[in-house]
Amino acid sequence: MKLAYWMYAAPAHIGTLRVATSFKNVHAIMHAPIGDDYFNVMRSMLSRERDFTPVTTSVVDRHVLSRGSQEKVVDNITRKDAEEHPDLIVLTPTCTSSILQEDLANFVQRASLEAKADVLLADVNHYRFNEMQAADRTLQQIVQFYIEKARKKGNLVTEKTAQPSVNIIGISTLAFHNNHDCTELKKLMGELGITVNAIIPEGANVDELRSLPQAWFNLAPYRELGPMTTDYLAAEFGMPCVDITPMGVVETARCIRKIQTILTAGGADVNYEDFINEQTIHVSQAAWFSRSIDCQNLTGKKAVVYGDATHAAAITKILTREMGIHVVWAGTFCKPDEEWFRKEVEGYCDEVIISDDHGLIGDRIANSEPSAIFGTQMERHVGKRLNIPTGVISAPIHVQNFPIGYKPFLGYEGTNQVVDLIYNSFTLGMEDHLLEIFGGHDTKEVITKGISADSDLGWNKEAQAELNKVPGFVRGKVKRNTEKFARDRGQTTITLEVMYAAKEAVGA
């Protein structure tokens, strides 16, 4: 058992549902108790879906507990088949069904005899996989199923398209800015003269999957969803994959150059250097920004980065390499991607943190006292408490992170958006501190209870008042150094005298 208040990655079935409901005309049936269909609320509320979320529950209640599901799951599948005529029904296990150990595979087999739709059992164990791993697996499973089905039927399309073409793999519902990223990637491919063969799973029809092999290569922009599928396609059809996330100016160029290599090897005569140059200098404002005096002001400022592997790695590289910001530490909650993440951010930050414990992350933020945080919604709230501005760069996210306006993180427009996000975070911090220097309104303590900086030392009234006069962005440091000084000398109350002594001794 683990005491937990907050989790960064959702349970496995959420990943499966995200993939299933991203496809068009695919229905998911959860084997779960009442109330586990919370996914429908999230999809309807967070991404403001106009359509009903194609997820129903085959309800596990007392009767199921005592007698087993018997016909119930099969009936629910065939009923949904008749009502909605989906192409595919994905039976989705949950934590509950994982323990019940009912033979769901058998239900699927029986239901597929009756149903017109294809029926699949998502191969995810609740206790072994998290949301991201489950999503990745489910996508691979569905792709493999339809490739094999097409092979059997003899309608698999393996002949390459005449013009260079690409499958964009890993765009899904309820993911961070995915719909905008997708638009940006399509635009980028268009400008590179590459036809988009398929985008999966978002908006795709399962029938399209048999034509995946006709693309020249796969583009998998996100580390969390897609690699299993691209690996499968590489093994089956030798399809090359570009897995460089085009986030930031340098990485976007690197991604395009990798595409160029693949296309050239495939016999296309392409040279994207002029395009990269033109985009970098004139379309994206990021390169110019890094040269401007605004960005000069950011030089050496401290930041911390935390999020999923893809976004945390990319933002770390942008901050350090493209803006000269000092990333004190970069971290991710994607533990299975630890090795990948360390390699990506190597040389771009002082330290790497791999943890999904929000308490630890909060403590580390408080200790590092950065000028800005780039993290998830949880870090945004830590930032609020510590009075440190935060840019949200990764899920878990709230409804405000599903903006209606066009806000990609990928591609050249993405570089512009990221610049705004980063710059606005820092300027807000500067404003705040100027306000304080000129006798601003905020005299709250920077470090509040609960995030590590708890102290056993008392501050007397005068000392407290003096501390409150210290500008917010260094107040935490002064407080801690003074307390350390006092503790070392066995003093229990901090007075003005102690403060001055500490300042003289350790520069607090």
Partner 1 sequence: MTVAAEPQALNFECETGNYHTFCPISCVAWLYQKIEDSFFLVIGTKTCGYFLQNAMGVMIFAEPRYAMAELEEGDISAQLNDYEELRRLCEQIKKDRNPSVIVWIGTCTTEIIKMDLEGLAPRLEAELGIPIVTARANGLDYAFTQGEDTVLAAMAARCPEKAPVAQEEKDERNAISKLMNFGRKKEDVTVSDSEYKDHPPLVLFGSLPDPVVTNLTLELKKQGIKVSGWLPAKRFTELPVLEEGYYVAGVNPFLSRTATTLMRRRKCKLIGAPFPIGPDGTRAWIEKICSVFNIEPQGLDEREAQIWEGVEEYVKLIRGKSVFFMGDNLLEVSMARFLIRCGMTVQEIGIPYMDKRYQAAELALLEKTCREMNSPMPTIMEKPDNYNQLQRIYAQKPDLVITGMAHANPLEARGITTKWSVEFTFAQMHGFTNSRDILELVTRPLRRNENLKDLGWEKLVRDEAIV
- Return binding residues for [4Fe-4S] cluster: 36
Residue in 87, 294, 363, 420 annotated catalytic:
294
Residues 119-148 that bind partner 1 (CB under 8 A): 126-128, 130
In the chain the first and final C-alpha atoms are separated, in Å, by 42
Site for partner 1 in 263-322 (CB under 8 A): none
Query: From the CB of residue 491, how many other CB atoms can be counted at a distance below 10 Å?
Result: 16
Task: Say whether 294 is catalytic.
Answer: yes
- Interface with partner 1 includes 461 (CB under 8 A)? no
By the rule CB under 8 A, 13 interacts with partner 1: yes
C-alpha distances in angstroms, 185 versus 125, 165, 178, 246, 408? 33, 13, 10, 9, 9
Give the shortest CB-477-to-partner 1 separation in angstroms.
24
Check if the beta carbon of residue 448 is closer than 8 Å to that of residue 385: yes
Contact 250, 316 (CB under 8 A): no
Each residue 390-409 as x (binds partner 1 by CB under 8 A) or -, in order, gives ------x-x-----------
CB 335 within 8 A of CB 421: no
What's the min distance (Å) between Cβ of 398 and partner 1? 8
Nearer Cβ to partner 1 (80/317): 80
Q: What is the spatial distance between Cα 369 and Cα 475, in angstroms, rounded to a whole number?
A: 10
- Site membership for partner 1, residue 10 (CB under 8 A): yes
- In which element (H, E) is residue 303 found? strand 302-307
Looking at the DSSP bridge assignments, the partners of residue 219 are 168, 242
Nearest-approach distance from CB 12 to partner 1, in angstroms:
8
What three-state secondary structure class fits 337? Answer: helix
Q: Which residues contact 103 (CB under 8 A, 6 or more apart)?
A: none
With CB under 8 A as the rule, give the number of residues binding partner 1.
54
The length of the chain, given as a count of residues:
508
Contact track, partner 1, 426-455, x by CB under 8 A: ------------------------x-----
Measured in degrees and rounded to the nearest 5, phi and psi for residue 489 equal -100, 10
From 70, 71, 82, 83, residue interacting with partner 1 (rule: CB under 8 A): 83
In contact, 153 and 377? CB cutoff 8 Å: no
Other C-beta atoms lying within 10 Å of the C-beta of residue 288: 13
Taking CB under 8 A as the rule, which mask of x and - marks residues 29-58 in contact with partner 1? ---xxxxxxx-xxx-xx--xxxxxx--xx-
Tokens for 198?
């398929």
Binding pattern for the stretch 86-105 against partner 1, x by CB under 8 A and - elsewhere: --------xxx--xx-----
Catalytic residues: 294
Q: Which residues bind partner 1 (CB under 8 A)?
A: 1-7, 10-11, 13-14, 32-38, 40-42, 44-45, 48-53, 56-57, 59-62, 65, 76, 83, 85, 94-96, 99-100, 126-128, 130, 378, 381, 384, 396, 398, 450
